[in-house]
Amino acid sequence: MDTNFFEKVYAVVCQIPEGRVTAYGAIARKIGSPQSARMVGWAMNAAHTRDDVPAHRVVNRQGLLTGKHHFDGINLMQQLLENEGVEIKNNQVQNFDRVFWDPNTELS
DNA sequence: ATTCTGACGTGGG
DNA sequence: CCCCACGCCAGAA
């Protein structure tokens, strides 16, 4: 929470454009800990209480909505993404390559 | 203080 | 191609 690590994660996640998704590893890489992808997920867990952090836009490397179970409803994450124009099928982001937003590439 | 687990990712067998 | 193990850091029991 107070740790700068979470702040970094929030900063990146918060910058994810609407209708786009990113991966935990991509964020981890951006903040300087490419192998700490787990922490990114953990940070999201804490972030899920914050409205400022669109945790629903963060999926795993496969494009799977792995964290959907942590949301209020199992469909909430998918609903939010679909609402933004992201097509989801069977917990998987369709056209993942197209909607994928890499903070290292797009954000610099 | 110690131990385990966790919304991942990569590498090796 | 499928399965297993390791690494990373932080928080909770």
CB-count burial class (<10 Å; 0-12, 13-18, 19+) for A97 = exposed
A96 CB below 7 A from strand B atoms:
no
A33 CB below 7 A from strand B atoms:
no
Q: Which domains does chain A have, with CATH numbers?
A: 4-100 (1.10.10.10)
CA of A28 to C1' of C9 (A): 11
A6 CB below 7 A from strand C atoms:
yes
Q: What is the pLDDT of residue A43?
A: 92
Q: What is the pLDDT of residue A30?
A: 93
Whether residue A17 is predicted with pLDDT greater than 80 in this model: the reply is yes
Confidence of residue A1 (pLDDT cuts 50, 70, 90): very low
pLDDT digits (tens, 9 = 90+) for A22-71: 999 999 999 988 999 999 999 999 898 888 899 999 999 999 999 999 99
* SS3 category, A12: helix
Q: Residues A62, A24: contact at Cβ < 8 Å?
A: no
A24 CB below 7 A from strand C atoms:
no
What are the φ and ψ backbone dihedral angles of A102, each rounded to 5 degrees? -95, 115
